């Protein structure tokens, strides 16, 4: 449990990261998957009250009834890349609580994973539903076995955060969409209500035809997308190299 307390301690100023890492504060029964699931329940979805990031820099145009998710620039961008909620890899710089964090997030089928690069810590769910918490700096790992309440609760939270950091809405989740500007750049503000990723408003800001960043209004978080593509390989969504190498070495012996 101590490695996850140490993981979370370095991120206490980040509102979203706090919710993202609440499960790390209680690793339950560790590798045996037992114990109390504690803080592993997904955070309550925000109803989108505050807009800390975009209120002074963005302008919403008069509602355009011809703008829908189907014909939006955001949907066209995701479709062009071939990314979906269950099929993407992204690298991003996240501005939260006055600090910057670098993340890697990915999803492929039932698998999902995110890494806080500065701390070399990764939270991952595999195809079977086993949950792994990797501390790369100290080469430590905690495992919650599939089927345990701890694994089920943490899986929900990990996926909610992976899907939330790079929100790729499904058509039936889009409540509303409005065009506007952010510091002179074209922006689409999308209200999403998702059972998988929670409720919130996301501002998609473009640089020409490319998505520059996403503002999570409900958290006041700005995520600058540096890499985004479909069909992530096992290399980027699987176990860290140091853990995979240890598995290989133990099998060889």
Alpha-carbon distance 96 to 25, whole Å? 20
Partners of residue 140 on adjacent β-strands: 135
User: Measured between alpha carbons, how far is residue 74 from residues 19, 225, 246 in Å?
Assistant: 26, 13, 42
User: Measured between alpha carbons, how far is residue 185 from residues 8, 166, 209, 240 in Å?
Assistant: 35, 19, 11, 38
Of residues 130 and 219, the one with the higher pLDDT is 130
Structure confidence by residue, pLDDT tens digits, 72-130 = 999 999 999 999 999 999 999 999 888 898 999 999 999 999 998 888 899 999 999 99
Alpha-carbon distance 87 to 212, whole Å? 20
pLDDT, averaged across the chain = 78
Please report how many Cα atoms fall inside a 13 Å half-sphere around the Cα of residue 47, on the Cβ side: 1
Would you place residue 15 in the very low, low, confident or very high pLDDT band (cuts 50, 70, 90)? very low
Going by C-beta distance under 8 Å and a sequence separation of 6 or more, which residues neighbour residue 110? Answer: 86, 125, 126, 127, 129
- DSSP secondary structure letter of residue 35: S
User: 162-189: b or e for each residue (b if 16 or more CB lie within 10 Å)?
Assistant: bbbbbbbbeeebbeebbbbebeeebbbb
Structure confidence by residue, pLDDT tens digits, 115-143 = 988 888 999 999 999 999 999 888 999 99
- DSSP secondary structure letter of residue 84: B
**What's this model's pTM, rounded to 2 decimal places?**
0.76
User: 40-50: b or e for each residue (b if 16 or more CB lie within 10 Å)?
Assistant: bebbebbebee
């Amino acid at each position: 449990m101590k490695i996850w307390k140490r993981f979370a301690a370095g991120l206490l100023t980040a509102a979203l990261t706090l919710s993202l890492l609440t499960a790390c504060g209680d690793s339950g029964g560790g590798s045996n998957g037992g114990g109390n699931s504690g803080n592993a329940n997904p955070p309550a979805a925000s109803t989108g009250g505050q807009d800390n990031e975009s209120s002074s820099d963005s302008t919403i145009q008069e509602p355009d009834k011809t703008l829908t998710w189907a014909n939006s620039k955001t949907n066209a961008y995701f479709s062009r890349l071939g990314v979906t909620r269950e099929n993407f890899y992204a690298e991003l710089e996240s501005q939260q609580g006055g600090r910057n964090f670098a993340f890697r997030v990915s999803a492929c089928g039932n698998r999902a994973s995110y890494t806080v690069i500065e701390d070399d810590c990764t939270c991952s769910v595999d195809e079977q539903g086993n949950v792994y918490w990797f501390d790369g700096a100290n080469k430590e790992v905690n495992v919650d076995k599939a089927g345990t309440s701890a694994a089920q609760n943490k899986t929900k939270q990990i996926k909610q955060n992976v899907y939330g950091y790079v929100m790729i809405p499904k058509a039936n989740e889009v409540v509303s969409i409005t065009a506007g500007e952010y510091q002179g750049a074209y922006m689409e503000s999308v209200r999403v209500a998702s059972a998988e990723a929670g409720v919130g408003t996301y501002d998609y800001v473009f640089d020409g035809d490319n998505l520059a960043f996403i503002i999570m209004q409900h958290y006041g978080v700005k995520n600058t997308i540096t890499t985004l593509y479909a069909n992530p390989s096992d290399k980027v969504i699987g176990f860290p190299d140091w853990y995979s190498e240890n598995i290989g070495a133990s099998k060889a012996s």
